[in-house]
Structure 1
Amino acid sequence: MASVDLTSIPLLDKKHSGVPSDYLEQAKGSKARLYSNKTLPASVPRDEEVPVLPPDVTREIFDAAIAELKRKLGEENVELNDKPLVDGWYLEHPNTHDAFHVVPQSDLVSSATVYPGSTDEVVQIVRWANDYLIPIYPISMGRNLGYGGAAPRVRGSVVVDLGRRMNKVLKIDGSNATCMVEPGVSYFKLHEEVQKTGYDLWVDVPDVAGGSVLGNAIDRGVGYTPYGDHFTNHCGLEVVLPSGEVLRTGMGALPGKDGADNPSWQAFQNPYGPTPDGIFSQSNFGIVTKMGMWLMPATGHQSYMITFPRDDDFEQIIEIIRPLALNRILGNIPQLRSVIQELAVTGKPKSFFYDGKDPMPREVVRSHAKNMPCGDISWAFYGTVYGNKETRDMQLEIIKREFGKVAGARFILPEEMPPEHYIHSRVNVCSGTPELRELDWLNWQPNAAHLFFAPITPTRGEDARVIHEIVSRLHKKWGFDNFSTLCIAGREMHWIANIVYDRADEDSKRRAVGLMREMIEEAAKNGFGEYRTHLLFADQVARTYGWNNQALMRFNETIKDALDPNGILAPGRAGIWPRRFRGKGWEILEEDEWRNSSLPKVDGSSK
């Protein structure tokens, strides 16, 4: 067992990335469980000259550039990445590399990190990058774990960590239920600041609340209240373009009286003329330094769980969900989860349930599930309804009646489950209260890390069945347990298949990459694409959106070349390469050799 320092967990009143003090014991428990299953050393020696250099930049030029950056922003706000690489864990994560490295740890590393304290300082950094042709990679907090974390796609880029010094809640408008935040504001922090105002408002939170509100929305992440589509509920951006010019979107483009912000900036999303906000989500077209967000007025709520006994209930469940979602009987963005997650979210490792290295056999899952509060089930549906009691009761009666058409379905309220059951975490998340509980399934494997495969399907049984069969078959082929969660927004579902692998095991990482690539390929052949992905798979996923001879990518490249002619801003993000890098071997596609990574080419086998 690795030693674990439970005194190092940062607190929110001391550090922007910390947890509120009343979450400290929960955080300690999560960290202790993860470290109890860890065999990796805290760090390993780096066997190359450090810091690594940006492409086409000599050591002499790099040293001169860093010296100038320190003069501009202060010595304390520029750090070289010349120390051992430490993976840490969710609340003590690196901003130097991918903590969940699926390639060798030193492959996706920065050369340095810079910490701006204002939009003006971001402008200075962008202009500096243009002067020296050094690629920069902005992060809000670097907690996009499962998708690459803080790692830059181009090795040797300078990470622009916006969170450390730009972490203020700039405004909370209680009467209009809006706020404005900087990149370093976590869901924990925004929730705390809203609570201090006394306004009866909720913050829509994702499963784990330590990430950036701005960063999650810009990456089109989701939560679980009626405000769960975070980018849809943003309102107004301030953006530093790759030229260093500052842009405000929406009503913010119209100056307010006497130099003040336009009072409608967080109230209405669109300006006159084209609305550009979308091009700054999942892109490398600008650095967002401020964002408006809509908050949800607090309301009555009732969470529940429905369990289903058979694997083959799957299509019927989806067909029942669709009309309920379309008619807004389902008040939130609910989840449908496979039963194996009921085991994993207890925080116990796989070895507690099964000593084999292969995927856990269905009969073994069943033997353990029957002794848990959920019982011997195949699927668990977690939902919440909102409004006054009369409205909630009416919705619940319809929900019970419709799901009751599935033989053996069981409707469960939170008070019917023991205090340690996962349902109580869903109650918090679905009523605007931050949580950490979702971290516990990471303990499934030693040195656990994960990749998300995240395609979109219509909320339709026959379509969902296609993805279900692809995911199930390929997980079995490549030797992984199938952790599938379906987040149902209405007409569509985010299908989140979570590959949990051992980052100390090269074969485990190789198989995880093989599984990802094959799922991406097969899903695309059937007309289903990912809504976001890990940075190593960005080129492959971007190519799947290839209608009309890659018209979308050609459009994105046109915008990139116009806005960023020097190619300095996050080259390769979302598969968008500037002219300077394009066609020069930086893309990583399944059929390519691994020219820019030491990761071996996947040969299509699971052995």
Structure 2
Amino acid sequence: MTTEFSFPPPPTLTSKHSGIPERLLDVGVESKNRLLSKRTVPESMPRQGELPRLPPDTTRAEFNQAIGELRQILGEEHVEINDKPLVDGWYVEHPNTHDAFHIALQEDLVSSAVVYPGSVEEVQAIVRWANKHKIPIYPVSMGRNIGYGGTAPRVPGSVVIDLGRRMNRILNIDADNASCLVEPGVSYFALYEEVQRRALPLWIDTPDVGGGSVLGNAIDRGVGYTPYGDHFANHCGLEVVLPNGELLRTGMGALPGKGGADNPTWQSFQPAYGPYSDGIFSQSNFGIVVRMGMWLMPEVGHQSYVITFPREEDFPQIVEIIRPLAQQRVLGNIPQLRHVIQELATTAKAKSDFYSGTGPMPRDVIREQASKLPLGDVSWVFYGTQYGDPASIATQLDLIRKAFSKIQGAKMLFPEDLPPEHYLHSRVNVCSGVPVLRELDWLNWVPNAAHLFFSPIVPTRGKDAQIVHDIVVRLHAKYGFDLIPTLCVAGREMHYIVNIVYDRSSLDEKRRAAACMREMIAEAATEGYGEYRTHILFADMVAGTYSWGNNALMRFNETIKDALDPNGILAPGRNGIWPKRFRGKGWEILGSEVEDALEGKGIGPKCRP
């Protein structure tokens, strides 16, 4: 270990469901020490006002009585009042009381309490309790939706339901069917380790960092990088607690199995008979998903590689070459196209190690510093992986090499061409279903680092990609942030994911990050490009951009919400969907309310002047 700081080691899977595997303990210790050693502010700041923060329209006496009832339902030890200092923690030791990567003030989006159900029946009981007392509840699987709000409830004072602590079983792995059935607290780490323990010839598909919930990531339509990278598209069967406490199974699970067993095709066929309802439970607040089936990928040969491109202006041509390769299924996975600045960031060094000035790192400095790294002075970096037997992989690589050779100076490299510490070796793991921690390294870029994702969907066409790229380049320069983009590329669309890395202790950086986010959302929407996923504080603005037909989509969502959740208790405001009880009463954030909150005005109608 190279750092002079020493913090307690993170938990492992043997001691905690949300821990890291033993195989990554040394990596985790070093990553945690390195990141926390850059902290320049106290671990927690004094909280303001009477604690805990109460749910809306609830007196302290009513809250105390309701919490007393909840403790009788769940047991004293499974109900925690949020009246203690707020600590942001580290990746697998994050809070479940607020957003560890707070973009508003740390205590703006806080829970009143956190509860830990241990069964589906207890989740149902909590929902019925919430309806009785009209207290909003906010379910999270494991709370690792970092960059999008973490565990923070959209309505301050809501009761967070932490599903992961006690509902973390792998209920089934069907090796013949190449599928599994999991509860919300099963992480990619945990699922991978169990597959390995059973020596099954199966892969999971993991995001960049492996500590998140398999169920939660799929429900929020996250992505990975094998051919099974579209996680929601590869789920099969849900069990859902509805806002009235009833239990629903979707897909083939709606058909009772013989003798009361689960239907044997529940994890085999997604739609079943009649309307396909699974989609309304992704990125919504229409129900609490407590079980989910997931398809696994049969083990196969693979070869990862990296292709570098020398010039900034190569960008649209790169995209044009990718499109037919992806549409023809020549590209084996969901590849990434990254700017070379990420080669600096993934070294785990601070920006100050490369540049001592203020504002965004100038391009000539990036070039100078990149020239000292293994890939050299390049501008764009493409990370891909091919699958199959050696002969088919060789044929695929020849096609890819030939296609990209149209760009002067393009160069293909393989893992054996690069030192063991290079980022490509991490991609080899991720693209073959092995969850890792490496992607946390760029959080060392600034002190007290947090990040905020801007994630529009862009057609896989050079001209479209350039339009969005020009917007984010200009606005990052305007607000003084380094542009750190990653494009997850498919045959017809790209997830253009922009990572705004900011110092969470700096009100000025938060204010600029929020303003940059607002302008990117607005300008991209004006050009016809919308986000697929966003931070909870920008959900209203993003949802408002999908306004075709006099907001027909939102009116449809509100109709479903009001029918299923007439008391408006389940995650009000999540993804911009507000129940009638809250709708149009000042909870929506459509302008500079996030920046205003940094002036101490808070979030919510009662906080405003």
Q: Same fold (TM over 0.5)?
A: yes
Q: Distance in 2 between matches of 1:395 and 1:214?
A: 33
* Partner in structure 2 of residue 149 of structure 1: 150
SS class of match (2:397): helix
* Partner in structure 2 of residue 118 of structure 1: 119
Q: Distance in 2 between matches of 1:324 and 1:462?
A: 18
Q: Distance in 2 between matches of 1:267 and 1:83?
A: 46
Q: Is the 8 A contact 2:507 2:598 kept in 1?
A: no
Residue 6 (structure 1) shift: 3.4
What one-letter code is carried by the residue in structure 2 that aligns with 1:258? G
Residue 205 (structure 1) shift: 0.4
1:31 is the counterpart of 2:24: no
SS class of match (1:455): strand
SS class of match (2:560): helix
What one-letter code is carried by the residue in structure 2 that aligns with 1:251? M
Residue 108 (structure 1) shift: 0.3
Q: Is the 8 A contact 1:334 1:381 kept in 2?
A: yes
* Partner in structure 2 of residue 605 of structure 1: none
State the Cα deviation string for residues 320-345 of structure 1 (Å, max 9, x = none): 00000000100000000000000000
Cα distance 1:41–1:591, how it changes in 2: closer, same or farther (>3 A)? closer
1:578 is the counterpart of 2:586: no
- Any stretches of 5+ residues in structure 1 without a counterpart? 602-607
* Partner in structure 1 of residue 89 of structure 2: 88
Q: Distance in 1 between matches of 2:36 and 2:405?
A: 42
Q: Distance in 1 between matches of 2:360 and 2:599?
A: 28
Residue 197 (structure 1) shift: 1.6
State the Cα deviation string for residues 403-434 of structure 1 (Å, max 9, x = none): 11100001000110000000000000000101
Q: Is the 8 A contact 2:308 2:382 kept in 1?
A: yes
* Partner in structure 2 of residue 357 of structure 1: 358
Q: Is the 8 A contact 2:179 2:296 kept in 1?
A: yes
Cα distance 1:593–1:115, how it changes in 2: closer, same or farther (>3 A)? closer
* Partner in structure 1 of residue 177 of structure 2: 176
* Partner in structure 2 of residue 375 of structure 1: 376
Q: Distance in 1 between matches of 2:536 and 2:270?
A: 29
* Partner in structure 2 of residue 311 of structure 1: 312
Cα distance 1:593–1:251, how it changes in 2: closer, same or farther (>3 A)? closer
SS class of match (1:536): helix
Residue 7 (structure 1) shift: 2.7
Q: Distance in 1 between matches of 2:159 and 2:596?
A: 21
SS class of match (1:509): helix
> How do residues 153-302 of structure 1 correspond to structure 2 at under 5 angstroms?
153-302=154-303
SS class of match (1:244): coil
Cα distance 1:575–1:441, how it changes in 2: closer, same or farther (>3 A)? same
Q: Distance in 1 between matches of 2:80 and 2:6?
A: 24
Q: Distance in 1 between matches of 2:380 and 2:495?
A: 16
1:335 is the counterpart of 2:336: yes
Percent identity of paired positions between Structure 1 and Structure 2: 68
SS class of match (1:454): strand
Q: Is the 8 A contact 1:208 1:436 kept in 2?
A: yes
Q: Distance in 2 between matches of 1:4 and 1:61?
A: 46
Residue 36 (structure 1) shift: 2.3
Q: Distance in 1 between matches of 2:303 and 2:592?
A: 50
Q: Distance in 2 between matches of 1:75 and 1:130?
A: 21
Q: Is the 8 A contact 2:250 2:277 kept in 1?
A: yes
What one-letter code is carried by the residue in structure 1 that aligns with 2:564? L
Q: Is the 8 A contact 2:104 2:595 kept in 1?
A: no
Q: Is the 8 A contact 1:186 1:212 kept in 2?
A: yes
SS class of match (2:93): coil
Q: Is the 8 A contact 1:140 1:183 kept in 2?
A: yes
Aligned length, in residue pairs: 601
> How do residues 402-481 of structure 1 correspond to structure 2 at under 5 angstroms?
402-481=403-482
* Partner in structure 2 of residue 99 of structure 1: 100
* Partner in structure 1 of residue 606 of structure 2: none
Q: Distance in 2 between matches of 1:294 and 1:382?
A: 24
Q: Is the 8 A contact 2:9 2:29 kept in 1?
A: no
State the Cα deviation string for residues 180-224 of structure 1 (Å, max 9, x = none): 000000000000111112210000000000000000000000000
Q: Distance in 2 between matches of 1:593 and 1:372?
A: 39
Q: Distance in 1 between matches of 2:319 and 2:338?
A: 12
Q: Distance in 2 between matches of 1:595 and 1:419?
A: 46
Q: Distance in 1 between matches of 2:412 and 2:146?
A: 33
Q: Distance in 2 between matches of 1:528 and 1:600?
A: 31
What one-letter code is carried by the residue in structure 1 that aligns with 2:329? R
* Partner in structure 2 of residue 604 of structure 1: none
What one-letter code is carried by the residue in structure 2 that aligns with 1:392? I
State the Cα deviation string for residues 41-93 of structure 1 (Å, max 9, x = none): 11111121111100000000000000000001100100000100000111110
Residue 290 (structure 1) shift: 0.1
Q: Distance in 2 between matches of 1:460 and 1:245?
A: 45
What one-letter code is carried by the residue in structure 2 that aligns with 1:252? G
Q: Distance in 2 between matches of 1:221 and 1:272?
A: 26
SS class of match (1:497): strand
Residue 489 (structure 1) shift: 2.2
State the Cα deviation string for residues 103-151 of structure 1 (Å, max 9, x = none): 1101000000000011100000000000000000000000101000000
1:130 is the counterpart of 2:134: no
* Partner in structure 1 of residue 17 of structure 2: 16
SS class of match (1:367): helix
Q: Distance in 1 between matches of 2:597 and 2:406?
A: 54
Q: Distance in 1 between matches of 2:498 and 2:357?
A: 21
Cα distance 1:488–1:218, how it changes in 2: closer, same or farther (>3 A)? same
What one-letter code is carried by the residue in structure 1 that aligns with 2:15? K
* Partner in structure 2 of residue 45 of structure 1: 46
Cα distance 1:578–1:4, how it changes in 2: closer, same or farther (>3 A)? farther
Q: Distance in 2 between matches of 1:172 and 1:166?
A: 17
Cα distance 1:212–1:598, how it changes in 2: closer, same or farther (>3 A)? farther
Q: Distance in 1 between matches of 2:58 and 2:86?
A: 22
Q: Is the 8 A contact 1:241 1:247 kept in 2?
A: yes
> How do residues 552-591 of structure 1 correspond to structure 2 at under 5 angstroms?
552-590=553-591
Q: Is the 8 A contact 1:91 1:210 kept in 2?
A: yes
Q: Distance in 2 between matches of 1:327 and 1:33?
A: 43
Q: Is the 8 A contact 2:141 2:215 kept in 1?
A: yes
SS class of match (2:532): coil
Q: Distance in 1 between matches of 2:232 and 2:300?
A: 22
Residue 598 (structure 1) shift: 5.2
State the Cα deviation string for residues 331-365 of structure 1 (Å, max 9, x = none): 00000000000000000000000011210000000
Residue 3 (structure 1) shift: 8.7
State the Cα deviation string for residues 550-593 of structure 1 (Å, max 9, x = none): 00000000000000000000000000000000000000011669
State the Cα deviation string for residues 438-462 of structure 1 (Å, max 9, x = none): 0000110110000000000010000
- Any stretches of 5+ residues in structure 2 without a counterpart? 603-609
What one-letter code is carried by the residue in structure 1 that aligns with 2:416? E
SS class of match (2:531): coil
SS class of match (2:92): coil
Q: Distance in 2 between matches of 1:165 and 1:112?
A: 16
What one-letter code is carried by the residue in structure 2 that aligns with 1:518? E
> How do residues 541-552 of structure 1 correspond to structure 2 at under 5 angstroms?
541-552=542-553
1:506 is the counterpart of 2:507: yes
Runs of 4+ in 1 over 4 A off after TM superposition: 1-5, 591-601
What one-letter code is carried by the residue in structure 1 that aligns with 2:415? P
Q: Is the 8 A contact 1:446 1:502 kept in 2?
A: yes
Cα distance 1:506–1:301, how it changes in 2: closer, same or farther (>3 A)? same
Cα distance 1:595–1:137, how it changes in 2: closer, same or farther (>3 A)? farther
Q: Distance in 2 between matches of 1:503 and 1:2?
A: 22
State the Cα deviation string for residues 25-44 of structure 1 (Å, max 9, x = none): 11111112212211121111
Cα distance 1:589–1:597, how it changes in 2: closer, same or farther (>3 A)? farther
